[in-house]
Amino acid sequence: MYQALKRKAKLEKKTVNELVNEALEFYYMMDRSLVANAERLAPAFKVTAADVIAHAAIQSFALNEATIEVYGQPLDMFKKLFVWEKDSDQDVPRLMSGSDLFYNLKDNFVRRLKEEKENDERNEKG
């Protein structure tokens, strides 16, 4: 493992210590609900939770970039990453995370999928 860390650190022009600190910070900041969902899915695909998280992130980033390319603006889910909260006398953005973000996105996906399903059913009828 240490040799792999040394190789990766060299590729990224960092020290092993910097790489380990970055990994620990990333793990520490990782939302537990995200990890729990990834751990639930990972065994079914015989991969690690980290693989599930990386794949999901890459897939959503790619979809967002494609949406920008086609429509000229990001996906709604990327536009709605922040919520506005009062801090002293002004509104400030707060990055949604954890269950707040999960349920917000899930509600948006459910609404969009229901609309798509209704459109499909209308098109089938004719």
Q: Report the C-alpha gap between 37 and 17 in whole angstroms.
A: 30
What is the per-residue pLDDT across 87-102, written as a single tens digit (0 to 9) for each? Answer: 777 777 777 777 777 7
Segment (H or E) for 24:
helix 16-29
Q: Report the C-alpha gap between 72 and 69 in whole angstroms.
A: 6
What is the per-residue pLDDT across 33-58, written as a single tens digit (0 to 9) for each? Answer: 888 999 999 999 999 999 999 998 89
Q: Estimate to the nearest angstrom the gap between the alpha carbon of 68 and the chain centroid.
A: 17
